[in-house]
Amino acid sequence: MTNYWLMKTEPTTFSIDDLAADPDQTTCWEGVRNYQARNLLRDDFCVGDRVLFYHSACKEPAVVGTATVVRAGYPDSHAFDPRSKYFDQKSSPDNPTWFMVDIKLDEKLESPVTLKSMRERAGLKGMVLLQKGSRLSVQPVKKKEFDTVLKMANG
């Protein structure tokens, strides 16, 4: 069974264009430091799951593309590297605290689907992203919501 997700990133940190520029158009989704999001990455993400790639903390937050999970949850090695901004001295290869997944670009949307337009769409009212206080960088999406966002992108 395919799961559906929304993954937030700040475009000044890592954008859809950065993913598209990678020779394999693939990246690890490292640096998640929230326990609830970590649990999703560790336990619930599966190879083949679909992802809405979302730019946050920018002038116009929006879904800007889609990706597919190509490697399920595995220990975030950045947590073991003292030079990394994601270093966590309590995490070790023998007892990892943090996890990541790998995603591969499917497509960059020609027409990004803005947060504002999603808020105005009746069929998306229950979407986790649109709930008050929703701040998780990794969050589940229902298939119907995923499909609705893609329909919005395609006019």
Residue 154 domain-assigned (yes or no): no
Residue 147 domain-assigned (yes or no): no
Q: Global pTM?
A: 0.95
Residue 12 domain-assigned (yes or no): yes
Instruction: Give the C-alpha separation, 121 to 149, whole Å.
Output: 9
Tokens 């995923």 sit on residue: 146
Q: Which domain holds residue 21?
A: 4-133
pLDDT in tens, 3-48: 999 999 999 999 999 999 999 999 999 999 999 999 999 999 999 9
Residue 152 domain-assigned (yes or no): no
What H or E segment, with its residue span, contains residue 117?
A: helix 115-119
Kindly state the percentage of the chain with pLDDT values over 70: 100
pLDDT in tens, 92-117: 999 999 999 999 999 999 999 999 99
| pLDDT (average), residues 122-127 | 94
Q: How many domains does the chain fold into?
A: 1
